[in-house]
Structure 1
Amino acid sequence: MTALDDSRNTSDKEAAQSRPGKARERAGRIWAARTALTAWLGRPLASFHLLLAICALLIVIGLVMVLSASAVISINQGSSAYTVFGKQVVFVAVGLVLFWIGVRVPLRQIRAISPIALWVCVMMLVLVLTPLGSTINGTRSWFKLGPLSVQPVEFAKLALALWGAHMLVVKRGLLHQYRHLLVPVVPAALVLFALVMLQPDLGGTVTLGVVLIALLWFAGAQLRLFGALALGGLAGVVLLAIGTGYRLARVVSFLNPGEDDLGADYQANQALYALADGGLFGRGLGQGPSKWKYLPNVHNDFIFALIGEELGFLGCALVLGLFGSLAVVGMRVATRNIDPWIRMVAATLTVWLVAQAAINICYVVGLLPVTGITLPLISSGGTSVVTTMLVFGVLANCARHEPEAVAALRSQGPGRFGRLMRLPAPEPYQPPVRRKPVRRPAPQRGSGGNAAVRTRQPAPRRKLGGRS
């Protein structure tokens, strides 16, 4: 027994002595990984490469999930299982072209055409209300081009972000005055709101409001202004909800869950059932039963529920992680630039995409009433996918204009992706020349109200010893 106890004590001592060594080794590995990650993030084009990776992963996840969600719907409609998926592939191909245009066109040219783009979007929003527009799902917000449909409000969001940032930067020296801060950005945004509310499109109105609030926030507006905007936005949302029967039913069902399980609550409840059915690892890709007519619009607004059902909590965490990474990288691009217009555009576009994803995910999980906002790059939808890829292109272009990236691209060449996409070297930022104010001579009074200069008469000399 003594020998056995001695051997046990010896092994315990050896184990205790080996623990600090293993702990130091583990800490060394963590430190090495952290150092390598920090060094990679310090590279000049790290933001650009991260945006490319996030965009590519979201596109791949979206295509896979649209194929899984739409195959049953396409078959039930009497067509091929790849009908909806084929349209999505075409939209992604068009979006790749727009992504290339967004990352290749110089940002000064994009800024120069932003007023024209806003006017074009206003005209499109007016025309969509005429007989030229088409009504889909109760909203007259589409142009039908054969088998395809275009929603102009998606392009209006981007135009408002680009033009609004341009106007606020031009007037940045006067933004402490409310009339210069609000005019003309807020009146132009109100015109867009009115045209979209006439369709009526609640989701488009909400996302336009997000763009406007982001512009004013990054312009440095006071908090009391956001309180007034919040009250106005809430009034608009209530007006849109009351004005349409099915939207009012959604809001009432959200405020009173369980009152109408087979009516207005049906879609939201089925989404929660799908998420709960997925568990940690999901039922497997393509094995989700909710797409068999249990969950309406599963390939559009509620595709996040199918991700949770087929890929489980890990799949949902991957999607959330990608949009969280987009928020970090987009704000990194905004803070690392020195051009005020690029800073505001990058921050506003990032807030728009991340807020749209957050709203979609929140109403899928039951935290918000259903508003019909798509999940960027993942939900099925032509105009949304195309516009989002154009936004990613503009963001990638902003990332290439970071000062360190500009210096590296102009001294070391365009790099692998730059040569592949034939991207020109970005131009360094040149601050506007501040002219010194020229002082004009103050006009002098003239005789009889004229501008002639009055000559001063010399005072009469006084005679010595007498009166003058």
Structure 2
Amino acid sequence: MTLQETRRNGTGTRRRSSASPRPDAPGSRTAGVVRPDEEQPLGNVGTRIRDGVGGWLKSPALDFYGLIVIGALLVGVGLTMVLSSTAVLNISRGESGFAGLFRQGAFAGLGLALLIAAAVMPPGFYRRAAWPLMGLGLLLQCLVFTPLGIEADGNRNWVSLGGQTLQPSEFLKLSLAVWLGALLATKRPLLDKAGHVLFPMVPGVVAALGLVMLGQDLGTMMVMAMLVAGSLWVAGIPRRWFIVSGVLGLVGIVALTVTSPNRMHRINNWLHGTCEGDSCLQADQGLMGLAEGGWWGVGLGESRQKWGRLPAAEDDYIFAIIGEELGLVGTLGVLALFAALALVMFRMITRLDDPFMQISVAGISAWLLGQAFLNMMVVTGLLPVIGVPLPFISSGGSALLASMAALGVLLSFARREPGAQEAITARVGAVRRTISVLPAPRDAEPAPARGRSARTRSARAKRSKRDGRGSGRQVSGRSASRTRRTRRER
């Protein structure tokens, strides 16, 4: 073909227009197509993270794992801050600076054992044991009025057993929550009748709150009142009875406050902002610690209030030490953990299909969250001083043990959510399946079977090989005889 013919007819290959992109160009339609036999690229990380988080939030096991993670974080924060807030005073007493951590860590280890034991129990066990647990809680609370009882700061709410102090009211909270769950779940269809509302719920609640109040512990009684209110609300008690119960409870709290000169003195100081002597020392030093912390805090372990300035720095006012050392960011982090715990527990109430578990979770939620926010409001000056610890964080064995046991009960209930048991016990770990943002690995190809068929194939191969050698010898024999016959003919 001459040059002129080539120019006239072309080369036979259609040129690609500069305007049309290549098939594998980023703007082409086939650029994002991934064949099944090809390894998938990472792709859009934001989309994968969004899809992974969305799938994680929809997982039936979210509440179960959420309780574990949040509880571990709260206990970890508590151990860290107890070490920080007690080290100086322990050294000044001639003890080890880690004495507070060792003591609280021992209670945390015992609480972990209680948590595991409570988590493995089925919900039916708690429903059957509700009445015995309530009786045991009331019996322990009665011990504070025996020679075993200890009085501190005007409150008689502790028991000395084996050289250790125990606060029975903390365990009475858990018993009351489970007892109300079992009782109200049984009477739920009959709650519109006065007789079923009043008996036996009212005598049991009055006995529990009354024993605590006889020990002059108004803060614990208020927490238990919130526990009862949360249980009644989720149980669906008629509105008129709920309002009557709330009014009577409020009247009782006001009456107990007015009849106590110590409480009235605290309230007057809180309302007017005036102090006489050391009556406002704890509240003022707590606010000063929060103010000194600023945005980012003075640094972990660098608090000045824990050097004897702030009373109960490791107990009721540990939130002030958190604000001083970790700043506003640290306090908001603790607040976020309790908010996340609230979301998990509220989600459990809506997902569980058993009234007993719903009401029990509501009572435990009102207890833990109500006590936490009461403590924070006291430290920040939004309420007068009320002696309630910060759950999971404040120093103290009874409060930590009761809180971790309650967390174990919640874990037992979370496993009974629809689809949760299957998600938790699935062959592929539920955590990897729910939070992974990468494609799941392809299943490995099954190994060839080594059963009867494999042995059959091996026998056939050996037979074929043997037959092949035999036929070869036969062919060689025929060729030799034919050669000899040809030679004789010649």
TM-score (ref. length: structure 2): 0.76
**Between the two proteins, what is the percent identity of the paired residues?**
38
Q: Which of 365, 376, 383 matches 1:350?
A: 365
Matches for 1:321-336 after TM superposition, within 5 Å: 321-336=336-351
What residue in structure 2 maps to residue 360 of structure 1? 375
SS at match of 1:291: coil
Shift of 1:292: 1.1
The residue type equivalent to 1:195 in the other structure is L
Name the CA shift for 1:65/1:342 in 2 (closer, same or farther; >3 Å). Answer: same
SS at match of 2:156: strand
Q: Which of 212, 216, 226 matches 1:200?
A: 216
Question: Following the alignment from structure 2 to structure 1, what is the Cα–Cα distance between the partners of residues 428 and 118?
Answer: 20
What residue in structure 2 maps to residue 240 of structure 1? 256
Greater mean deviation of Cα atoms: 232-241 or 306-315: 232-241
The residue type equivalent to 1:402 in the other structure is E
1:366-407 CA distance string (max 9 Å, x none): 111111011000000110000000011111111111111134
Q: Which of 33, 37, 40 matches 2:49?
A: 33
Q: Which of 260, 263, 266 matches 1:250?
A: 266
Q: Which of 277, 290, 307 matches 2:322?
A: 307
The residue type equivalent to 1:135 in the other structure is E
Q: Which of 207, 227, 233 matches 1:191?
A: 207
1:109-134 CA distance string (max 9 Å, x none): 12111100101111122222122211
TM-score (ref. length: structure 1): 0.79
Name the CA shift for 1:106/1:176 in 2 (closer, same or farther; >3 Å). Answer: same
SS at match of 1:85: helix
What residue in structure 2 maps to residue 162 of structure 1? 178
Tell whether 2:312 aligns with 1:294: no
Name the CA shift for 1:117/1:283 in 2 (closer, same or farther; >3 Å). Answer: same
What residue in structure 2 maps to residue 225 of structure 1? 241
What residue in structure 2 maps to residue 277 of structure 1? 292
What residue in structure 2 maps to residue 121 of structure 1? 137
What residue in structure 1 maps to residue 167 of structure 2? 151
Tell whether 2:403 aligns with 1:388: yes
The residue type equivalent to 1:152 in the other structure is P
Name the CA shift for 1:413/1:153 in 2 (closer, same or farther; >3 Å). Answer: farther
Matches for 1:203-218 after TM superposition, within 5 Å: 203-218=219-234
Question: Following the alignment from structure 1 to structure 2, what is the Cα–Cα distance between the partners of residues 412 and 247?
Answer: 58
Question: Following the alignment from structure 1 to structure 2, what is the Cα–Cα distance between the partners of residues 279 and 56?
Answer: 27
Shift of 1:147: 3.6
Count of aligned pairs between the two proteins = 389
What residue in structure 2 maps to residue 90 of structure 1? 106
Cα contact 1:300–1:379 (8 A) shared by 2: yes
The residue type equivalent to 1:291 in the other structure is K
What residue in structure 2 maps to residue 456 of structure 1? none
Shift of 1:262: 4.1
Question: Following the alignment from structure 2 to structure 1, what is the Cα–Cα distance between the partners of residues 242 and 291?
Answer: 37
Question: Following the alignment from structure 2 to structure 1, what is the Cα–Cα distance between the partners of residues 314 and 348?
Answer: 32
The residue type equivalent to 2:404 in the other structure is M
Question: Following the alignment from structure 2 to structure 1, what is the Cα–Cα distance between the partners of residues 101 and 47?
Answer: 45
Tell whether 2:198 aligns with 1:182: yes
Shift of 1:275: 0.7
Cα contact 2:119–2:412 (8 A) shared by 1: yes
Cα contact 2:90–2:100 (8 A) shared by 1: yes
Greater mean deviation of Cα atoms: 299-308 or 336-345: 336-345
SS at match of 1:128: helix
Cα contact 1:128–1:141 (8 A) shared by 2: yes
Shift of 1:268: 1.1
Question: Following the alignment from structure 1 to structure 2, what is the Cα–Cα distance between the partners of residues 277 and 416?
Answer: 41
1:33-65 CA distance string (max 9 Å, x none): 333211012223121111100000001100000
Cα contact 2:423–2:430 (8 A) shared by 1: no
SS at match of 2:314: coil
Question: Following the alignment from structure 1 to structure 2, what is the Cα–Cα distance between the partners of residues 224 and 277?
Answer: 48
Shift of 1:186: 2.1
Cα contact 1:161–1:348 (8 A) shared by 2: yes
Shift of 1:410: 6.3
The residue type equivalent to 2:159 in the other structure is F
Cα contact 1:102–1:393 (8 A) shared by 2: yes
Tell whether 2:411 aligns with 1:401: no
Cα contact 2:117–2:408 (8 A) shared by 1: yes
Shift of 1:66: 0.4
Cα contact 1:261–1:269 (8 A) shared by 2: no
Higher relative contact order (CA 8 A, sep 6+): 2
Question: Following the alignment from structure 1 to structure 2, what is the Cα–Cα distance between the partners of residues 323 and 203?
Answer: 20
Tell whether 2:117 aligns with 1:101: yes
1:262-315 CA distance string (max 9 Å, x none): 432221111111111111110000001011111111100011011010001110
Aligned CA-pair RMSD:
2.0
Cα contact 1:357–1:376 (8 A) shared by 2: yes
Shift of 1:30: 5.5
The residue type equivalent to 1:114 in the other structure is A
Consecutive unaligned residues in structure 2, runs of 5 or more: 1-43, 433-490
Question: Following the alignment from structure 1 to structure 2, what is the Cα–Cα distance between the partners of residues 249 and 378?
Answer: 29
What residue in structure 1 maps to residue 74 of structure 2? 58
The residue type equivalent to 1:345 in the other structure is S
Cα contact 2:296–2:328 (8 A) shared by 1: yes
SS at match of 2:131: helix
